Amino acid sequence: MLKNWRALDPTKSVGVRLFLIFLVSMVVFVSSLGILSYVKARDTIKENAASANQQTIIQTSQKMDIILQRYLDASTQIFFNPEIESAINNLQRGTTEFERFQAVRQINDSLSNQVNVTSGLQAIYFLPTDEASNNFFTAGSQVPTPEDIRAASWYADLTGGKKNVMWVPTDAARGSYTLARLMSTTNGSGAKFIVALQLNVKTLEEQLTSVTLGDGSHIELISEDGTSIASDVKGTEGQPTALSFADREMQDSGKFEAKQSGKNVLAAYNTMETSGWKLIGTVPVEYLLSGASGILTLIVIFVVVAVLVAAVIGVWIIRMIGHPLGLLKGLMQEGATGNLSVRSDYRSKDEIGELSTAFNRMMDRITDLIRQTTDTAQQVLDTAGELEEASKQTAISAREIAIATEEIANGASSLAQEAEKSTELTERIGSRMEKVVSANLEMDVSAKEVQTASRQGTEHLDKLLTQTGGTENMVRSLVTRVDALKESTASVMKVLDVMQNITKQTNILSLNATIEAARAGAAGQGFMVVAGEIRQLASRSRESIDMVGEITDNIQSEMEETVRTLSTVYPMFQDQVHAVKQTSGIFDSVQEQMEQFSGKLEGVTASIGELGRAQTTMAEAMASVSAVAEQSSATSQEVASLSSEQQNVGVRLVELSAKLSNASNELKESISKFTV
C-alpha cells in the first residue's frame, strides 16, 4: 500500500507530474476563458444598457426641455399681452383710485384667463421690483406673499442682474416649481416686474413615469443644488435627492456605475438646456446581469467536463509514460545492485521504447563482459595456483641443494684428514651429484612450465584488457549518443518555440479578424465564426505544443539521469582496466624472474658438470689429495653461493606467486558482485 502511495507522489513520478500539470492547465484555461467570457459579456451588457439608458434619458430630457421652453414662451406672451400692457399703462397713468382699480382688475382677470387656458399652470403673478409700489398681480392658488418672494435668494439674483431667467426648484408644500423672469414694460416708463409662472410638478412627473429603464429603475430630475424637482417616486419632489452620487462632478451628459443603497447601479444623465437641471436615471446592475447568470452555469459545466477529460487524459499519460519509466527505473535500480539478468519487456516506437531497447543492449554487453572477465579471472587464478606449486617445488629443491652443498663443503674441509676414506666419500659424492642433476632437471622443467603459464596469463590479460577497453569505448559511445539525443531534444524545443510563436501570431490574427468582422456587422458574421474557429484551433495547438514541450523536458531529464548512471559505470570499467594492467605487470615481472631463474639454473648445471669432472679427477688422482682437496673446497664454496642464490630466487618466486593469487582473488571478488 505504501509503495502505491509513493508511486502517486508527484516528486517521485513524472507521470503524476504530467497529469497534475495537464489537469491544472486545463482547469485554469477553461476557468479563465469562462470567467473572461462572463466578464466580457457582463461589460458588454452593462455598456449597451448604459448607452440605451443614456439615449432614453436624453430623449426624455429633450421632451421636458420642450415643455419648459413652452412655458418660457408663454411667460413672454402673457407679459406682452396687449390687454395686460394696456392695463399696466392705465395703472401707471391713472389719476383716480377707480381707474387704478379697474386696471388692476383687468390685469388679474387676464392672468386668470391664462391660468385657465394653460395646462400645468398652477398660478401666475407679477411683482414690481420697486418695493415702494404696493401693486401685486396674481392669479391661481397657493401664491406666495410679496415678502416671501423678496426674501428668496433667486429674487436677489434676478434683481441684481446676475440672471434674467430663473427656474426655482419644486416647493414640496405647494407641489409646484416656478419659472421667474425679470421683464420691463415697453411703454417707455421702464418699469420692471418679476414675472413668475408657478407650474404643477405633475406635468413633469407624468413624463418621468412614462419612462422605464427596467425593473428596479429610478428616474429623477435634480436641480443644481441637489433638490429633487420631479421623480417617478411620489412624495420625493421638493426634497433633497436620495441619490448618493448626485454631488459628484458631471459633464453635460454621460453614464457611469455607482453605489446606491448598497447596490451597484448604472446611472445615465443629461443636462436640460432650458433650466440647467439634470435628468438622472438609474437601473440596478443585478437586473441587467440576470441574463448573464446562465453563462456562469455554463462555465461550471465546462469546468467539470474539462476536469473529467483532463483526468482521463492524465491517466492515459501516466500509463503511457509514467508506468514504463517506473518499470525501467526499477530495472536500473536492480541492475545497480549487481543483478545483470534484468531485462525490459516494454516495446514501442517512441523514445521510451528506444531507451528500453538501449537498456537491454547495454545489459547484454555488460553481462558478456562480466562473463568473459569471470572466465579469464578463473584462468588466472588456476595459473597462479600452478605457479605457486612450481615455486614451492623450486624452493624445496633449492633447500636440498643448499644441504648438499653444505655437506660437500664439510667433506672438502675434512678431505685432508679423511684421505683414507676418499673412496667412500667419492661414492657418496657421486650419489649426491645424481640427486643434484635430477633436481636441476626438475627445476628446469618447472621453470619452463612457469614461463609457459606466465606467457599464457599475459596473453589472457592482454585479451581481457582489449575487451575491457572495447567495453569502455562502447560505454563512452553510449554517453556520446545520449548527449547527441539531448541536443536533438533541444532542437525539438527550438522548433516548439517557433510553433508557439506561430500559434500566438495566429491567435492575434484571429482576434483582429474578429474585430474586423464585428465592425462589418451582419455582413461579417460568417467571417467572425471562421475567426472563432481559427482562435480555438490556435488555442488547441498551443495546448498540444505545451504538452509536447513538457514531455520533451521529461525525456531530456531521463536522458540526463541515464548519462549520470553511465558516468557512474564508466569509472568502474576504468578501475577494471587499471587492475588488469597491474596483473599484466605482475605476470611480466614473473616472466622476467623466471628467465633469470633459468639462466641461474644453467649456471648451476654447469657448476654441477664441473663438480662431476672434479670428482672424476679426484678418483683418477687420489695421490694428489691435498691439491684436489683445495680445488674441491673452492668448488664447494662456489656451489654454496649458487645454491644460496637459487634459494633466494625460489623464495622470490613464491612471493610473486602469492601476489598473483591475491590479485586473482580480488578480481574474482569484484566480479562476484554481479549476477549474470
Stretch among 108-117, 339-348, 503-512, 577-586 having the lowest mean pLDDT = 577-586
pLDDT band at 342 (very low <50, low <70, confident <90, very high): confident
Residue with more model confidence, 159 or 556: 159
pLDDT tens digits for range 90-119: 887 877 888 888 888 888 888 899 888 888
- Residue 124 scores a pLDDT above 90: yes
Residue 283 confidence (pLDDT): 87
194 φ, ψ (degrees, to nearest 5): -90, 110
Which candidate, 380, 342, 279, 276, places its Cα nearest to that of 670? 380
Q: Identify any residues that bridge with 227 across adjacent strands, giving them in sequence order.
A: 240
Residue with more model confidence, 498 or 140: 140
pLDDT band at 557 (very low <50, low <70, confident <90, very high): confident
pLDDT tens digits for range 537-556: 777 777 777 777 777 777 77
Which candidate, 268, 282, 284, places its Cα nearest to that of 232? 282
pLDDT tens digits for range 295-328: 777 778 878 888 888 778 777 777 777 677 777 7
pLDDT tens digits for range 403-440: 766 676 666 566 556 556 656 666 676 676 677 667 66
Residue 4 confidence (pLDDT): 46
The mean pLDDT value of the chain amounts to: 76
Which of 114-128, 425-439, 499-513 is the most confident on average? 114-128
Rounded to 10 deg, the angle between the 293-317 and 14-79 helix axes is 170
pLDDT tens digits for range 205-245: 888 888 888 778 889 898 888 888 888 888 788 888 888 77
User: How large a percentage of the chain has pLDDT more than 70?
Assistant: 73
Q: Average pLDDT in the 656-668 region?
A: 70
Q: Is 206 helix (H, G, I), strand (E, B) or coil?
A: helix
Stretch among 387-401, 477-491, 631-645, 658-672 having the lowest mean pLDDT = 631-645
Which candidate, 659, 495, 667, places its Cα nearest to that of 577? 667
Long-range contacts of 348-357 (CB under 8 A, 24+ apart): 348/324, 351/485, 351/555, 352/321, 352/324, 352/325, 352/328, 352/555, 355/328, 355/558, 355/559, 355/562, 356/324, 356/328
Residue 204 confidence (pLDDT): 86
Residue 167 confidence (pLDDT): 92
Residue 255 confidence (pLDDT): 86
pLDDT band at 196 (very low <50, low <70, confident <90, very high): very high
Residue 1 confidence (pLDDT): 35
Q: Identify any residues that bridge with 257 across adjacent strands, giving them in sequence order.
A: 266
pLDDT band at 29 (very low <50, low <70, confident <90, very high): confident
- Residue 3 scores a pLDDT above 50: no
Q: Average pLDDT in the 513-528 region?
A: 74
Side-chain-side CA neighbours of residue 228 (13 Å): 23
182 φ, ψ (degrees, to nearest 5): -100, 115
Q: Average pLDDT in the 49-76 region?
A: 89
Q: Average pLDDT in the 190-194 region?
A: 83
User: How large a percentage of the chain has pLDDT more than 90?
Assistant: 5
